[in-house]
Amino acid sequence: MPPPRLKEPLQIAYIGRLAAVKGIREFLAATSMAHDEGALGQFSFHVVGDGDDLELAEIRKRGWIDYHGAIANDAVETFLAKTDVSVGLTFVASKAGELGGSGLSNAMLEQAASGRVMLCWDNAMYRQLLDERSCYFVPQGSTSELWRALKDIAADTAEAKARVSEAC
Q: Is the pLDDT of residue 142 over 90?
A: yes
Please say whether the beta carbons of 13 and 22 come within 8 A: no
User: How far is 97 from 99, CA to CA, in rounded Å?
Assistant: 7
| 35-49, 78-92, 98-112, 124-138: segment of lowest average pLDDT | 98-112
Q: Would the pTM of this model clear 0.75, i.e. be above it?
A: yes
- Can you give the pLDDT at residue 106? 72
User: How far is 18 from 113, CA to CA, in rounded Å?
Assistant: 22
- Can you give the pLDDT at residue 107? 72
User: How far is 158 from 126, CA to CA, in rounded Å?
Assistant: 23
- Can you give the pLDDT at residue 52? 76
Beta bridge partners of 12: 45, 85
φ, ψ for residue 59 (rounded to 5)?
-65, -35
User: How far is 163 from 32, CA to CA, in rounded Å?
Assistant: 26
φ, ψ for residue 107 (rounded to 5)?
-60, -40
User: How far is 150 from 33, CA to CA, in rounded Å?
Assistant: 11
- Can you give the pLDDT at residue 129? 85
Q: Is the pLDDT of residue 69 over 90?
A: yes
